[in-house]
Amino acid sequence: MAEIDKVKEEIGAIKTYLGFIIAFIITLGAGSAKVYLENSSDLLISLGILGILFSGISVLTTCKSHAQKIKSLRDL
């Protein structure tokens, strides 16, 4: 039973990390949109878009890890 509880805790932690990443993407998107509407700086817009892309890749890798943990839970 201890192994199942450990995997469940890891799945819960991954869900928490995923929530943080999604919140970060939303924040970057809102900030980039504000800078774009104000015509402030092309550099900040570019950095915001790159940050969103990097965070999107993080979401994909986190989801892949989440799926692997769920599969390992079925095997126990």
Half-sphere exposure for 56 (CA within 13 Å, toward CB): 8
Quick: pLDDT tens for 16-73.
888 898 999 999 999 999 998 998 888 888 899 999 999 999 888 988 888 888 887 7
Closest CA to 34 of 68, 76, 1, 26: 26
> Which pTM value belongs to this model?
0.75
Which pLDDT value is given to residue 76?
67
d(CA 76, CA 74): 6
Ramachandran angles phi, psi of 50, nearest 5° = -65, -40
d(CA 52, CA 44): 12
